[in-house]
């Protein structure tokens, strides 16, 4: 069949189909066009699930006059591409920037910055629809210490490599010194720990931070008496003791306090764990890994409160990772994606809010420092060429989970604001 004949045949079929449709329409007495009413149209659009981006805020954010407070948006919700959503901060204080909300409250009475302020975040999609919303309260106090305690407040900081870096604990010491707040950190590690081989540097920067450790190791690891100042890769938990060789090691926080705090229970204990507890977890294994972490975490809480129920325990919510996959490539090659780590960390935060929230009556509190840490500029970088054939150099993030001094100091600021939220300084 030549092309002209083929076109004629197609046209004939088309005309016949039109004629048939008109005949059917005349028989039915109506149009074949179907119009959806508003109800049908609404049903055709799938309902937006509740909080699909898993936006979370803590019940309270503590802050102090003269101390910068931040909420970094990428830390608050879970999205592969956070830039696909518009963030809208609803608050009478502070300034919303592209990557964060930030505020440094004033103690000036005329500015009325002290007190409580509602704070909310809305996430909007490309159609400007609100797809998620979360609310909290900013609680602002005057940083000035008006009635110093007669005896120094005592603080024990427990954690993994982020604590072992000794930077955020040092920031807490620095802030307390600036405010003339008597504060004593206790612990067998850190540059100021007398239990270290050199006897400490006199800075007062002490803690129980051990790289690579988990809640399980703090609660169960005993290594034939190697502990409390020994190299962390070899030693067991500083809280486990064995009286006789035939006895099973046991947690003995009272004995620890006898040795390192003159027998007194600390006023405050903070715990920052989760990085190693859930590292390399998958979406299929994360819940089980968190269950294991929490079982041992609760053991540590019980150990502390069995000695003295009045000790205030701060459960520090785990820190966010660096915002770039480059950082994970620098540390782990191709074995760990930033996205999987971020999903795991976010799930730990969600579960901690559920499990350890609303337990203030037990002297167990949440410390939401994770929101205050800059995931872009608060992590280390290194200069590198973009590729082997280019002279262009860029700064690539170089550490996936350990902040730079900037990020650690932001963590210290948030921890100090939580410490100062109690009435002991008034």
Q: How far is residue 101's CA from residue 372's CA, in Å, rounded to a whole number?
A: 10
Helix segments in 179-225, DSSP class H: 215-220
Cβ burial of 332 (10 Å; 0-12, 13-18, 19+) is middle
Q: Is residue 13 in some structural domain?
A: no
Q: Is the dihedral of CA 303, 309, 311, 314 positive or negative?
A: positive
Angle at 370 between CA 117 and CA 90, to 5 degrees: 30
Residues 128 and 153 occupy one common structural domain: no
The single residue listed with the structure tokens 């612990």 is 187
Q: What is the per-residue pLDDT for 346?
A: 98
Report the CATH number that the domain containing residue 222 is assigned in CATH: 3.40.50.1110
Q: What is the per-residue pLDDT for 26?
A: 40
Q: Is residue 8 in some structural domain?
A: no
Among 307, 262, 267, 271, which residue's Cα sits nearest to residue 154?
Answer: 267
Among 352, 358, 272, which residue's Cα sits nearest to residue 319?
Answer: 272
Residues 201 and 282 occupy one common structural domain: yes
Tokens of 361: 């009556």
Residues 126 and 189 occupy one common structural domain: no
The single residue listed with the structure tokens 């705090």 is 261
CA atoms within 13 A on the CB side of 50: 0
Residues 124 and 152 occupy one common structural domain: no
Q: Is residue 175 in some structural domain?
A: yes
Residues 185 and 241 occupy one common structural domain: yes
Rounded to the nearest angstrom, the gap between the alpha carbon of residue 198 and the centroid of all alpha carbons in its chain is 34
Single residue among 86, 112, 144 that ends a domain in this structure: 144
Q: What is the per-residue pLDDT for 64?
A: 98
Domain encompassing residue 82: 39-144
Residues 100 and 164 occupy one common structural domain: no
Q: What is the pLDDT along the chain (426 residues), one digit of tens a residue?
A: 544 444 444 444 444 444 444 444 444 443 333 333 434 444 444 444 467 899 999 999 999 999 999 999 999 999 999 999 999 999 999 999 999 999 999 999 999 999 999 999 999 999 999 999 999 999 999 999 988 998 999 999 999 999 999 999 999 999 999 999 999 999 999 999 988 877 888 899 999 999 999 999 999 999 887 888 778 788 999 999 998 777 889 999 999 999 999 999 999 999 999 999 999 999 999 999 999 999 999 999 999 999 999 999 999 999 999 999 999 999 999 989 999 999 999 999 999 999 999 999 999 999 999 999 999 999 999 999 999 999 999 999 999 999 999 999 999 999 999 999 996 544
Q: Is residue 29 in some structural domain?
A: no
Cβ-Cβ contacts under 8 Å for 178 (sequence gap 6 or more) = none
Which letter does DSSP use for residue 264 in this model?
A: P
Q: What is the per-residue pLDDT for 358?
A: 97
Residues 156 and 74 occupy one common structural domain: no
Cβ-Cβ contacts under 8 Å for 106 (sequence gap 6 or more) = 65, 66, 113
**Structural domains counted in the chain:** 2
Residues 209 and 330 occupy one common structural domain: yes
Residues 139 and 150 occupy one common structural domain: no
425 contacts 145 by C-beta, under 8 angstroms = yes
Single residue among 117, 144, 171 that ends a domain in this structure: 144
Q: Is residue 67 in some structural domain?
A: yes
Beta bridge partners of 208: 158
* φ, ψ of residue 64 in degrees (nearest 5): -125, 150
Q: Is residue 23 in some structural domain?
A: no
For 93-113, letters b (16+ CB in 10 Å) and e give bbebeebbbebebbeeeeeeb
Q: How far is residue 333's CA from residue 17's CA, in Å, rounded to a whole number?
A: 62
Tokens of 52: 């699909």
Report the CATH number that the domain containing residue 68 is assigned in CATH: 2.60.40.10
Q: What is the per-residue pLDDT for 122?
A: 97
Q: How far is residue 112's CA from residue 93's CA, in Å, rounded to a whole number?
A: 10
Single residue among 104, 124, 144 that ends a domain in this structure: 144
Q: What's the first-to-final CA gap in the chain, in angstroms?
A: 99
Among 184, 108, 173, 171, which residue's Cα sits nearest to residue 142?
Answer: 108
Residues 262 and 361 occupy one common structural domain: yes
Q: Is residue 10 in some structural domain?
A: no
Q: What is the per-residue pLDDT for 423?
A: 65
Q: How far is residue 76's CA from residue 73's CA, in Å, rounded to a whole number?
A: 5
Residues 85 and 169 occupy one common structural domain: no
Q: How far is residue 208's CA from residue 239's CA, in Å, rounded to a whole number?
A: 10
Q: Is residue 193 in some structural domain?
A: yes
For 334-354, letters b (16+ CB in 10 Å) and e give eebebebbbbbbbbbbebbbe
Residues 139 and 154 occupy one common structural domain: no
């Amino acid at each position: 069949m030549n092309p002209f004949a083929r076109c004629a045949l197609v046209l004939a079929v088309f005309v016949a189909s039109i004629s048939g449709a008109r005949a059917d329409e005349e028989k039915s007495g109506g149009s074949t066009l179907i119009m959806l009413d508003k109800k049908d149209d609404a049903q055709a659009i799938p309902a937006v699930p509740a909080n699909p981006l898993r936006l979370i805020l803590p019940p309270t954010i503590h802050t102090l006059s003269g101390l910068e407070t931040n909420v970094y948006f990428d830390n608050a919700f879970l999205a592969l591409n956070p830039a696909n959503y518009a963030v809208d901060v609803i608050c009478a204080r502070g300034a919303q920037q592209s990557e964060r909300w930030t505020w440094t409250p004033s103690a000036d009475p005329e500015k009325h910055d002290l007190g409580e302020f509602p704070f909310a975040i809305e996430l909007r999609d490309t159609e400007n629809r609100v797809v998620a919303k979360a609310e909290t309260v900013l609680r602002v106090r005057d940083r000035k210490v008006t009635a110093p305690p007669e005896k120094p407040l005592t603080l024990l900081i427990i954690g993994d490599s982020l604590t072992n870096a000794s930077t955020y604990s040092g920031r807490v010491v620095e802030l307390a010194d600036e405010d003339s707040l008597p504060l004593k950190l206790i612990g067998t590690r850190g540059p100021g720990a007398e239990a270290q081989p050199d006897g400490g540097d006199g800075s007062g920067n002490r803690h129980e931070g051990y790289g690579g450790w988990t809640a399980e190791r703090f609660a169960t690891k005993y290594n034939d008496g190697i502990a409390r100042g020994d190299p962390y890769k070899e030693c067991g938990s500083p809280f486990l003791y064995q009286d006789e060789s035939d006895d099973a090691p046991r947690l003995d926080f009272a004995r620890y306090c006898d040795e390192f705090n003159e027998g007194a229970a600390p006023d405050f204990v903070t715990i920052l764990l989760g990085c190693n507890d859930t590292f390399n977890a998958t979406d299929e294994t994360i819940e089980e890994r968190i269950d294991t972490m929490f079982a041992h975490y609760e053991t540590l809480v019980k150990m502390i409160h069995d000695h003295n129920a009045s000790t205030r325990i701060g459960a520090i919510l785990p820190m966010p990772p660096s915002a770039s996959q480059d950082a994970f490539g620098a540390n782990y090659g191709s074995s760990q994606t930033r996205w999987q780590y971020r999903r795991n960390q976010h799930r730990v935060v969600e579960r901690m809010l559920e499990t350890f929230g609303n337990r203030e009556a037990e002297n167990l509190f949440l410390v939401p420092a994770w929101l205050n840490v800059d995931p872009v500029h608060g992590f280390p970088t290194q200069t590198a060429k973009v590729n082997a054939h280019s002279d262009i150099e860029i700064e690539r993030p170089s550490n996936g989970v350990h902040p730079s001094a900037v990020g650690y100091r932001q963590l210290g600021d948030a921890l100090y604001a939580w410490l100062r939220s109690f009435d002991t300084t008034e």
